[in-house]
Amino acid sequence: MSSTSNAVLKADHVWMDGKLIPWESATVHVMTHALHYGLGVFEGIRAYRAKNGKLAIFRLREHIRRFLDSAHIILLKMPYTEDQLVDACMEVLRVQDAKFPNGAYLRPVAFMGDGAMGLGAQNDTRVAITAWEWGSYLGDKGVKEGIRAKVSSFTRMHVNVNMVRGKISGQYVNSILAKREAVMAGYDEAILLDISGFVAEASGENIFCVGRHGVVRTPSLSSPILRGITRDTVIQMLQDAGRQVEEVSFTRDALYIAGEVFFSGTAAEVTPVREVDNRQVGDGKPGEITRSIQELYYRVVRGHEPHYEHWLTYV
């Protein structure tokens, strides 16, 4: 695994079950239900140090709405409202702003706590929001030069197995197996196909592919993919720039012959893919569309683009 994805920098405070507590106190009992069975939901949200010097949280409400939807999907009772969770995210950053000169990654998590055991248990939901500084998820070199990806032997699960509109903790075992397999084989990231063999997404990112004629394609939301907020951001930015984006199914060999391939995700931001299954993509360097979207994304999240200012919540 890349060292950047493993690095956890400790912060001072964690918001847990309604209040701020010291980082060291934010612990749970080993009998926590979710630890055994995976019944939890989470989010990943980035805050950037904006050009006005403040931390700007990117698309905060959309992330919190997905968090609430994820809990609703798995029948996990959420004891807080959207507004309370938005305020809690702000508070976590406000009280330790100086700790994050380069921005922060926010991790809301909600899960079934301890009490009863067994699959029918109905214990109280625990909710925590932590923050840490997280660099480029797929490495600085990957962001600049592109990464090497491998189609996984693991399949994205059928839509009747995984709840694809939810960011559900237990479902990430599938992603972790794919990621580990790819990294152990010497690649940076795994690309998972759906059960019909069409490209779905990467272990923690959505995927885009640019055909030789400049048409951008990404799997549709009927595929077993997470409805990525960065995916939506990229689609909107491309369309605003007058580019056609097709949300369609495509095969793995479409990636082999694409002019450009890139991933999108909160953690990975916009990361170019320079090789898929040992086939060079395009000329083996980040392509023109990938570079321009990546550059625009960095400007947008730091408040340099007034047109997209509504996506930022300043702390």
Ligand X SMILES: Cc1ncc(COP(=O)(O)O)c(C=O)c1O
Binding span for ligand X by CB under 6 A among 20-28, 105-113, 119-127, 258-266 = 258-266
Shortest Cβ 269–ligand X spacing (Å): 9
Would you say 114 or 297 has its CB closer to ligand X? 297
Shortest Cβ 251–ligand X spacing (Å): 19
Subset of residues 152 to 181 that bind ligand X, contact rule: CB under 6 A: 175
Binding span for ligand X by CB under 6 A among 102-110, 129-137, 182-190, 262-270 = 262-270
Residue 204 touching ligand X (CB under 6 A): yes
Closest CA to 100 of 32, 11, 221: 11
b (16+ CB within 10 A) / e for 113-142: bbeeeeeeeebebbbbbbbbbbbbbbbeeb
Using CB under 6 A, pick the residue from 5, 206, 294, 313 that binds ligand X.
206
| Nearest-angstrom CA–CA distance, 221 and 235 | 13
* Per-residue x/- track, 218-257, ligand X (CB under 6 A): --------x-xxxx--------------------------
| Nearest-angstrom CA–CA distance, 301 and 24 | 31
Would you say 44 or 170 has its CB closer to ligand X? 44
Subset of residues 264 to 303 that bind ligand X, contact rule: CB under 6 A: 264-266
Would you say 266 or 294 has its CB closer to ligand X? 266
> Which element (helix H / strand E) includes 34?
helix 33-37
Cβ(211)–Cβ(217) below 8 Å: yes
b (16+ CB within 10 A) / e for 161-171: ebbbbbbbbeb
DSSP string, 232-290: HHHHHHHHHTT--EEE---BHHHHHT-SEEEEEETTTEEEEEEEETTEEPTTSS--HHH
Binding span for ligand X by CB under 6 A among 17-25, 202-210, 291-299, 303-311 = 202-210
Q: State the Rg of the chain over Cα.
A: 19
Using CB under 6 A, pick the residue from 189, 205, 260, 275 that binds ligand X.
205
Subset of residues 31 to 50 that bind ligand X, contact rule: CB under 6 A: 44
Shortest Cβ 153–ligand X spacing (Å): 17
**Residue 175: phi, psi to the nearest 5?**
-65, -40
Q: CB 239: neighbour CB atoms within 10 A?
A: 12
Residues belonging to the active site: 167
User: What count of residues does the chain have?
Assistant: 315
Shortest Cβ 226–ligand X spacing (Å): 4
Shortest Cβ 197–ligand X spacing (Å): 19
Residues of this chain that bind ligand X (CB under 6 A)? 44, 175, 201, 204-206, 226, 228-231, 264-266
